[in-house]
């Protein structure tokens, strides 16, 4: 028997990176633009982002934050103030040096009006926001400041991949100021909790919460916490970060306040962010060889109704029946929101229409034809498992919210089982090398998986990690605290971390 035809070619097993691109194309999420490294996010992809924004924004507000907006341009001198920060971002900054164009005499244009001080396009906003906060903060009574901004940022990347790494991307960045280290650290952890909640309950993507090692930390941070997810090729993807910045930025930018005791003190700051990269994470967590698979809570359309008819008379009847059904379903709610139901009445052949929605990941497809009408029923198919059956309308209405919840939770369970099946504990260099060995002739690896290993020093293991292209993802917050032995050097160790190949 020939292999079943898949809507996406190649399959994940055949060529994972190419499959990823084709899923995006098949679902019409985004495309490359005329600008190198920058993408166009198309309506289906953007509405996914809007749903993410909606969920996250509500959670930010519930934890006491407000939105504000800071400039796209940052004076170059601002970036210079925090040494590690400069080192981390200088290499990937877009720089604005002129403010005017003039004819070049050959029919084109050339920059004119050089700026006295170059501006950089924000790669992140710690510096400009810090400079602003320095003016806002005078007294302990001004604290805490809890602000988030939704923005675009630019990081001039060498190699780009849609959603996962583009030169410009959309994100949110929270920036807070606190009177004490404890309070700032608590904020850092709280926002990691928010990200965890969002990843697991909205995206149905299980994550490991942990702390970054010094080598993987955000430039300028004292502590970086992250959530790490496993993609279907078993590579890790950092899905969100939350940083405790200590007093590094407040010292660099003079964010000082007079305490209750009358002392002038440097404030404690945090920053935290997630980006459109989450869309890449979503794609690689759930999608299959027929295209995108969306968790119901984030799907722009949760249910699509497809009328099926032969002639104009049937068409009118079927459409009327579908419309009634849509109205009935519209009164239902799932996860606190009205169901998002659409009728696809386009004049397309049934098969084409079906695959269109399959590739776009719509969680539930309802097909309604004359036979279903006669039985007061509808044909219901779920995207994640492909299961389908004829269901009486009354039963459909009674069970649809539960069906969506079932899809949502089974996507999570499936992803969790995948991660657990590909997580091992390794205790020797030989095991480590074998686990992460390249597995095709081009030296590419299908990922290996997550490895829990004790290690004594980042410096000791780094050469091996570089050789195998493995990174320390994080030290999980729930990692065993006891004592172990470094898998490489045999030295006593107090730290067990997750090692993996990563995006």
Partner RNA sequence: CGGGGUGUAGCGCAGUCUGGCUAGCGCAUCUGGUUUGGGACCAGAGGGUCGUAGGUUCGAAUCCUAUCACCCCGACCA
Name residues contacting RNA, limited to 396-435 (CB under 7 A).
none
- Under 8 Å between Cβ of 204 and 411: yes
Where do we find the tokens 């919840």?
405
Contact stretch for RNA (CB under 7 A) within 128-136, 264-272, 411-419, 439-447:
439-447
Options 371, 385, 425, 480; binder of RNA; rule CB under 7 A: 371
Contacting range for RNA; rule: CB under 7 A; set: 62-70, 86-94, 103-111, 420-428: 86-94
Token pair listed for 98: 């002129």
Of the residues 440, 442, 459, 481, which one makes contact with RNA according to CB under 7 A? 442
Asked if 190 touches RNA (CB under 7 A), the answer is no
- Which part of the chain contacts RNA (CB under 7 A), choosing from 128-136, 182-190, 364-372, 413-421? 364-372
Q: What is the dihedral of CA 64, 68, 72, 75, to 10 degrees?
A: -80
Among 46, 84, 152, 165, binds RNA (CB under 7 A): 165
The distance from CA 141 to its chain's CA centroid, rounded to whole angstroms, is 35
Determine if 466 is a binding residue for RNA (CB under 7 A): yes
Applying CB under 7 A, which of residues 14, 36, 313, 413 lies at the interface with RNA?
36
Least Cα distance to 21 among 185, 144, 161, 207 occurs for 161
Residue 137 Cα to chain centre, angstroms: 33
| Beta carbon of residue 478, minimum distance to RNA (angstroms, whole number) | 21
Binding residue for RNA (CB under 7 A) from 88, 118, 401, 476? 88
- Minimum CB separation from RNA for residue 183, in Å? 25
Q: How far is the first Cα of the chain from the last one, in angstroms, to the nearest whole number?
A: 36
242 binds RNA (CB under 7 A): no
For residue 320, the minimal CB distance to RNA (Å) is 15
Bond from prior residue into 130 cis (ω within 30 degrees of 0): no
Nearest to 345 by CA among 378, 367, 377, 330: 367
38: Cβ–Cβ under 8 A, 6 or more apart, which residues? 166, 167, 168
User: HSE of 158 in the Cβ direction (CA atoms, 13 Å)?
Assistant: 1
Q: From residue 426, how far is each of 454, 457, 461, 484, 496 by CA, in Å?
A: 8, 16, 14, 12, 10
Is residue 256 a contact residue for RNA (CB under 7 A)?
no
How far apart are CB 136 and RNA at their closest, in Å? 27
Contact residues toward RNA (CB under 7 A) are: 5-7, 17, 21, 32, 36-37, 88, 91-92, 155, 157-161, 164-167, 169, 218, 238, 241, 275-277, 290, 306, 308, 310-311, 349-352, 354-355, 367-373, 379, 442-444, 466, 469, 503
């Amino acid at each position: 028997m020939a292999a079943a035809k898949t809507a996406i070619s190649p399959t994940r097993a055949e060529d994972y990176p190419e499959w990823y691109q084709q899923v995006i194309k098949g679902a019409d999420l985004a495309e490359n633009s005329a600008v190198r490294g920058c993408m166009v996010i198309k309506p289906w992809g953007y509405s996914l982002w809007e749903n993410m924004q909606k969920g996250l924004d509500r959670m930010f507000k519930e934890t006491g934050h407000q939105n504000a907006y800071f400039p796209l341009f940052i004076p170059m001198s601002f970036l210079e103030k925090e040494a590690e920060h400069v080192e981390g971002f200088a290499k990937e900054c877009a720089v604005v040096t002129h403010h005017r164009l003039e004819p070049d005499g050959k029919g084109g244009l050339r920059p004119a009006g050089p700026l006295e001080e170059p501006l950089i396009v924000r790669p992140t906003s710690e510096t400009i926001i810090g400079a602003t906060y320095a003016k806002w903060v005078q007294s302990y009574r001004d604290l805490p400041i809890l602000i988030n901004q939704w923005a675009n940022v630019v990081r001039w990347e060498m190699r780009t991949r849609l959603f996962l790494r583009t030169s410009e991307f959309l994100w949110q960045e929270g920036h807070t100021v606190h009177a004490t280290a404890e309070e700032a650290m608590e904020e850092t952890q709280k926002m990691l909790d928010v990200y965890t909640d969002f990843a697991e309950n909205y995206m149905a993507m299980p994550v490991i919460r942990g702390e970054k090692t010094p080598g993987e930390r955000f430039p300028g941070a004292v502590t970086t916490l992250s959530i790490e997810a496993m993609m279907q090729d078993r590579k890790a993807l950092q899905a969100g970060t939350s940083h405790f910045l200590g007093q590094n930025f407040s010292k660099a930018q003079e964010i000082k306040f007079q305490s209750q005791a009358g002392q002038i003190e440097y404030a404690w700051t945090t920053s935290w962010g997630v980006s459109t990269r989450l869309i890449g994470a979503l794609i690689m967590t759930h999608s299959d060889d027929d295209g995108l698979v969306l968790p119901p809570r984030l799907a722009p359309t949760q249910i699509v109704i497809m009328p099926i008819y032969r002639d104009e008379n049937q068409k009118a009847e079927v459409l009327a029946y579908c419309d009634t059904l849509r109205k009935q379903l519209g009164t239902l709610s799932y996860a606190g929101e009205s169901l998002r139901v659409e009728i696809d009445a386009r004049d397309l052949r049934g098969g084409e229409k079906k695959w269109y929605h399959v590739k776009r990941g719509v969680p539930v497809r309802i097909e309604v034809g004359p036979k279903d009408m006669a039985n007061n029923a509808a044909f219901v198919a779920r995207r994640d498992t492909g299961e389908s059956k004829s269901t009486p309308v009354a039963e459909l209405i009674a069970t649809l919210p539960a069906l969506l919840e079932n899809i949502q939770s089974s996507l999570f369970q499936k992803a969790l089982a995948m991660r657990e099946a590909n997580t091992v504990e390794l205790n020797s260099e030989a095991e480590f090398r074998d686990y992460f060995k390249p597995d095709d002739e081009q030296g590419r690896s299908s990922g290996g998986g997550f490895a829990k290993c004790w290690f004594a020093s980042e410096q000791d293991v780094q050469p091996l990690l570089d050789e195998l292209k493995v990174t320390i993802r994080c030290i999980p917050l729930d990692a065993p605290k006891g004592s172990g032995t470094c898998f490489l050097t045999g030295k006593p160790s107090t730290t067990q971390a997750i090692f993996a190949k990563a995006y």
